[in-house]
Structure formats: structure tokens, C-alpha cells
Amino acid sequence: MHSMPDSDSLTAQFSAAMTRRQFFRRSSAGIAIGIPALATLLGDDGFAADSATDPKSGGLAGLPHFPPKAKRVIFLHQSGAPSQMELFDYKPNLVKSQGVELPDSVRMGQRITGMTSGQSSFPVAPSIFKFNRYGRSGTWISELLSHHGKIVDDITIIKSTYTEAINHDPAITFVQTGFQQPGRPSMGAWVTYGLGSENQNLPAFVVMVSQANALNPDQPLFSRLWGSGFLSSRYQGVKFAASGDPVLYLSNPPGVPSPTRRRMLDGIAKLNRLLAEKYGDPEIDTRVAQYEMAYRMQTSVPDLMDLSKEPESTFELYGPDSRKPGTYGANCLLARRLAERGVRFIQLYHRGWDQHNDLPRDIALQCRGVDQPSAALVLDLKQRGMLDDTLVVWAGEFGRTVYCQGKLTATNYGRDHHPRCFAIWMAGGGIQRGLSIGKTDDYSYNVLEDPVHVHDLQATILHCLGIDHLRLTYKFQGRYFRLTDVAGNVVKKILA
């Protein structure tokens, strides 16, 4: 039995938060002199300064719009687009159609990428992997994801997600910013802009990237995926580096021991305060506070990254990769540690799912890196009681075609990009457990039931955080922009 969220305490926290915001809004009426000392990592730029900004959290006053079920999000982005047919969308009957031309009645003239549009034939390539049933729900899951078998009763699988883009750049930008072209804020930036930070020592929005297990080349990533678009740059994600300083320039330079650094900071603070007396500019006070915050980060980040105090059982849970910094396994473990420390939006990117050829070889390698840590994260959050208020999302940017790209053989094939359906899962705060929704046609080509558009997914994520996606807006170039652009419906069916 998983523990039910304590509605009393959630409600109480919600009320407390609202009252506190109210208080701060009042106390900061007019100009916020003195408030900068409270400023968080989000800082204050006077650019997008909104009179409705809550100076404590840096979020908007009046948010959340309703009691949130989740306080934070861990988004496990499987970059390159995993094949749904090999993982979650079980199509046992396809074996019979091996090599048979995909019927036109299925494709219905829908556009395909420039990579296979030149193919004269679109032969069906059934998955060569076995599926097994797991959990009380008896959900079919691929043999490649045996560890997921342990969490099927904790997650909701959506086999009917679909998107509009058919290539990586626009598709991944669409999932993360709600728009295919650059220029819009990322989901994490929207959430941070709306809800602010929950901690004083770490960024509110952290990004980590891990490299492919597969052999085929990776798709590139772009910092716009965690950028702030037209929102203030204070809302952009902070990408932790896989090696060296996790946060850029975190360490003191060689030859500057910490007592010396402390003395420097004290000196700088004194001088800046003297300046503030002269100029009266509240920005100077804010800067003084930022120096203290930076100093705290120098302790809190290494503490976060230091896995030496994790018990052996943690590494057993997350698998051997979790000991190797920079791997997906290690990043999943760090995601849990970030969540524990009140980081609002944690975004992982795992590269290497773009299997146009040699799919069987590469997807197997890829799953070896991804299966156990993904499942472990859910189990770990659950055993710590954090799954109730943490939303975990596991998704790529689109699916893959049932027809083979390149040469089809009994053991080898490739798959092109496919926007019309793909499988993702969600778990935790606000989401039902042990549910599977969405039905695709016999070829895993078109959605038959429960279509979930990318904007629906985004609306649902915001909903779990207590945000009405229609009401989280920002006026830019005269228009009130939203993460969900002009669309999006909360997927009520999966809400707990």
C-alpha cells in the first residue's frame, strides 16, 4: 500500500503559503527596499518586475491557483525519441505483417520526414522483443524494461501521446517550450516564474544531461530547452555539468582557500554597503545578498553532489551506473537529492534514442542504461514518501514508425520519426497509479483512444502543480503568452 497524501497537511501548507505571500506582498508595497535580503536565487532584475511578484519565493502572487498535488517536477527526457513499439505499445499481431507494406489506409497520406520520404517501400517491422505482464494491473511491458515491471502499479502509462513536429529540433523544442520555433520560455522557466523557488541555496530549476548508451550518433541538445525565452533570464534552468564544477565557476580558483574567500566576501560586502549608503540604489543591497547566496551555494552544491554518505542499498537500487558521475543512473539519484532539497523543476536529458538503423542493438543498449535508474527513482521517491508530492514524467519528443527505415531483416531494422503516437509515463503527485491509457491502431500509427497532445501534457503538468495553464501568462510584444500557446486540456482521466 502506498501512503495516501495527507490532505489536511497539504491544505494547511497551501493556506500557510498563501498567507505568507499575502504578507510579503503587503509588506513590499511600494518599493522593495530591505526586501532584497530575502531575494532568492531568482534575483530581481527590475526588467520583468511584476508588482505581483512574491519577493519571498520569487513566484507570482496568487499562485498556485488551486491546491497543488505536486510541489516539484522531475522530467526525464529521453532525447531522440524512444520507439513505443519496443517498449510500451505491445503489438503482438504485427509479427504476421513482417515485411508487408504499410497500408495506405493507415498512413493516410500523412507527411513523413525527408529521411524516408524517398523510400519506395514502407515494410512493416514488428518488434523483435518479447513483452511480459507486470504488476497487479497486468500491464504489458517490454523485456527491455524489466525493472519497470516493479513500478507499473505506481505509474500511469500514456500510449496515445502525439505531437505536431516530425524532426528533433522542433519536436523537442515543442515538448519543452510549447512551440516548435525558438523564442519561448521552457516549461521549467514558466513554472519557476509562476511558483518561484522553494529553497534558498540552490537554483529553482536544474538541468542535467547524460550521454547515450547506444552506438549511433546522438541528437544535439539546445540550451533553449531550459531557456527563459522572453521571460527574465533569472528563470532559466541552471545546467549542472557532468564533470568539473557542477555549477559553472562554483569552486574558488586554485590558490584561494576558503578563509581567504570569506575575507574577500566580507570586504566586498562592507564596500558595497558603503556604496549603497551613497547611491540609495536597492540593486546594491540585492547584490550584497547575492554574494551571500553564492557563498552558500559553494557549500550546498558540493553537499548535494557528494554521494559518499548514500548507503550501499541506494547504489544497488539505482544500479552500477549510479556510481559513475554524469551517467543517467547518477543523474536519477541526483534528481532525488535535488528534490529532497526543494528544487522546483529538475530536468534530465538522456541522449541516444534516435534509432534510424540498428534499432534492436541500440535500443537494448539504451534500455540497459535507462531502465533500472528510472524505476529506481520512482521506488526511491515512494519509499521516502516523496512520490506523493513529486511529479515524475518520462517522455521523448515523438515516437517511431512501424515501417522500417533502411533494410529490413529478421533481426535488424530501423525506424524513422513518428509524431502521431508515442508512449510516455507519469507518476507521483496528482497522477493515478497503475493506470494505462490510450490505444493506438494495429500498426501503432494513429491514436484510436484518449489522444494526449503535447499541450495537454503540459496543461496536465501545470495542473498537478496547482496552476491553471490558461492563467499562467506573460505579456510580451503585446500578447499574453502561455506555455500551452492557444490550446491544451488537462488530461483528467489520469488525475488521482
Partner 1 sequence: MLFDGTIGRAHKQLSSLRLLRYPLSLIFAGGSLVLSFLLLIAGALLARPQAASQGGAAGARQVTPGGSVVFATQIRPILAARCYPCHGPDVQQHGLRLDSLQAILSGSANGKVVIPGDSQNSHIVRRLLGLEQPQMPYGGPPLPAEQIDLVRKWIDEGALGPDSSEPVVAAAAPINDVKAAHSASEKPVDFNRDIRPILSDACFTCHGPEEKSRQGNLRLDIRESAFAEHNGYRIIVPGSSATSRLYQKISSKDIAFRMPPAWSGRSLTPKQIELFRQWIDQGAKWQSHWAFDPPKRSAIPEVKDKTWPKNPIDNFTLARLEGEGLKPSAEADKATLLRRVSLDLTGLPASPAEVDSLVADKSPDAYEKRVDHLLESPHYGERMAMPWLDLARYSDTHGYHIDSLREMWPWRDWVIAAFNRNMPFDEFAIEQLAGDLLPNATLEQKIASGFNRNNMINFEGGAIPEEYHVEYVVDRASTTATTWLGLTMGCARCHDHKYDPIKQKEFYRFFAFFNTVPERGLDGFEGNAAPVLSLPTPEQQQQMDDLKRKIAAALTAMPENDVLALRNEWQKTRLATLAEPTRDALAMHYPFNDDLSDAFSRHDGKLVRGEITYEDGPAGKAAEFRGESEANLGQAGDFDLHQPFAIAAWVNLYEEKGKVLQKRDASEHWTGYELGLEDVAFTRRQERNLRVVVRLAAAWPASAIEVRTKNRVRMDSDHHLLVNYDGSGKVAGLKIFVDGTPWETETTKDDLRGSFRTSAPLEIGNKNIGGAFKGRLGDLRIYTRTLSDTEVEDLAVHLPARVLLTKLGGTPASEIAALQPEKPPDEADIGELEKAEGKEQKQARLEKQDQARLSEYFLKHDAPEKYRQSYSQLVELRKEKDKLEKSITTTMVMAEMSKPRDTFVLGRGQYDNKGEKVTPGVPAFLPPMPEDLPRNRLGLAKWIVDPSNPLTARVVVNQYWQQHFGTGIVKTAEDFGSQGEQPSHPQLLDWLATEFVRTGWDIKTMQRLIVTSATYRQSSRASHELIERDPENRLLARGPRFRLAAEIVRDNALAISGLLNDKIGGPSVYPYQPAGLWEEMAFGQGFSGQTYTPSSGPDLYRRGLYTVWKRTVPPASLTIFDAPDREKCTARRGVTNTPLQVLTLLNDPTYVEAARALAQRALRMGGRSDRERIDFAFKLATARTPDPQERDVLLGSLSQFRSTYRRDQAQVTKLLSVGESKPDSTLDPREVAAWTTLASMILNLDETITAE
Q: Which of residues 468-487 bind partner 1 (CB under 8 A)?
A: 468, 470-471, 473, 475, 477-482, 485-487
User: In the bound complex, what is the minimum distance in angstroms from residue 132's beta carbon to partner 1?
Assistant: 25
Indicate which single residue of 1, 3, 96, 253 sits in contact with partner 1 (rule: CB under 8 A).
Answer: 253
User: In the bound complex, what is the minimum distance in angstroms from residue 250's beta carbon to partner 1?
Assistant: 6
Query: What does the CA dihedral 341, 330, 229, 298 come to, rounded to 10 degrees?
Result: 50
Q: Does 110 bind partner 1 (CB under 8 A)?
A: no
How many other CB atoms are found less than 10 A from the CB of residue 389?
20
Q: Does 45 bind partner 1 (CB under 8 A)?
A: yes
**Which residues, numbered 285-304, are part of the site for partner 1 (CB under 8 A)?**
286-287, 290-291, 293-294, 297-298
User: In the bound complex, what is the minimum distance in angstroms from residue 216's beta carbon to partner 1?
Assistant: 10
Helix (H, G, I), strand (E, B) or coil at 127: coil
Q: Does 364 bind partner 1 (CB under 8 A)?
A: no
Q: Does 284 bind partner 1 (CB under 8 A)?
A: yes
Indicate which single residue of 146, 199, 272, 446 sits in contact with partner 1 (rule: CB under 8 A).
Answer: 272
Q: Does 19 bind partner 1 (CB under 8 A)?
A: yes
Nearer to partner 1 by Cβ, of 15 and 93: the residue is 15
Region binding partner 1 by CB under 8 A among candidate stretches 90-98, 99-107, 256-264, 436-444: 256-264
Nearer to partner 1 by Cβ, of 66 and 130: the residue is 66
Helix (H, G, I), strand (E, B) or coil at 190: helix
The alpha-helical segments, DSSP class H, found in 341-413 are: 359-383
**Which residues, numbered 128-167, are part of the site for partner 1 (CB under 8 A)?**
166-167
Helix (H, G, I), strand (E, B) or coil at 219: coil
**Which residues, numbered 193-252, are part of the site for partner 1 (CB under 8 A)?**
209, 211, 217-224, 227, 232-234, 238, 241-245, 247-252
Sign of the C-alpha dihedral computed for residues 233, 207, 496 and 418 taken in this order = positive
Indicate which single residue of 104, 278, 312, 313 sits in contact with partner 1 (rule: CB under 8 A).
Answer: 278
Nearer to partner 1 by Cβ, of 150 and 261: the residue is 261
Region binding partner 1 by CB under 8 A among candidate stretches 102-110, 124-132, 406-414, 438-446: 406-414
Q: Does 454 bind partner 1 (CB under 8 A)?
A: no
303 and 185 Cβ atoms separated by less than 8 Å: no
Q: Does 107 bind partner 1 (CB under 8 A)?
A: no
**Which residues, numbered 53-82, are part of the site for partner 1 (CB under 8 A)?**
60-62, 65-67, 69
Report d(CA 396, CA 354) in Å as an integer. 10
Q: Does 113 bind partner 1 (CB under 8 A)?
A: yes
Q: Does 27 bind partner 1 (CB under 8 A)?
A: no
DSSP per-residue codes, 137-150: TTEEEEGGGGGGGG
Q: Does 52 bind partner 1 (CB under 8 A)?
A: yes
Q: Which residues contact 359 (CB under 8 A, 6 or more apart)?
A: 83, 86, 400, 412, 413, 414, 415
User: In the bound complex, what is the minimum distance in angstroms from residue 335's beta carbon to partner 1?
Assistant: 17
Nearer to partner 1 by Cβ, of 36 and 149: the residue is 36
Cα-trace Rg, the chain: 24
Q: Which residues pair with 403 in a beta bridge?
A: 124
Report d(CA 454, CA 397) in Å as an integer. 9
Sign of the C-alpha dihedral computed for residues 36, 38, 41 and 46 taken in this order = negative
Nearer to partner 1 by Cβ, of 117 and 313: the residue is 117
DSSP per-residue codes, 470-494: TT--EEETTEEE-TTTT-----GGG
Q: With contacts defined by CB under 8 A, how many residues of the chain interact with partner 1?
A: 134
**Which residues, numbered 302-341, are part of the site for partner 1 (CB under 8 A)?**
none
As a 3-state breakdown, the chain gives helix, strand, coil percent values, each rounded to 5, of: 40, 15, 45
- The angle subtended at Cα 349 by Cα 348 and Cα 351, nearest 5°, is 150
Helix (H, G, I), strand (E, B) or coil at 128: coil
Report d(CA 450, CA 487) in Å as an integer. 16
Cis peptide before 64 (omega within 30 of 0): yes
Nearer to partner 1 by Cβ, of 51 and 313: the residue is 51
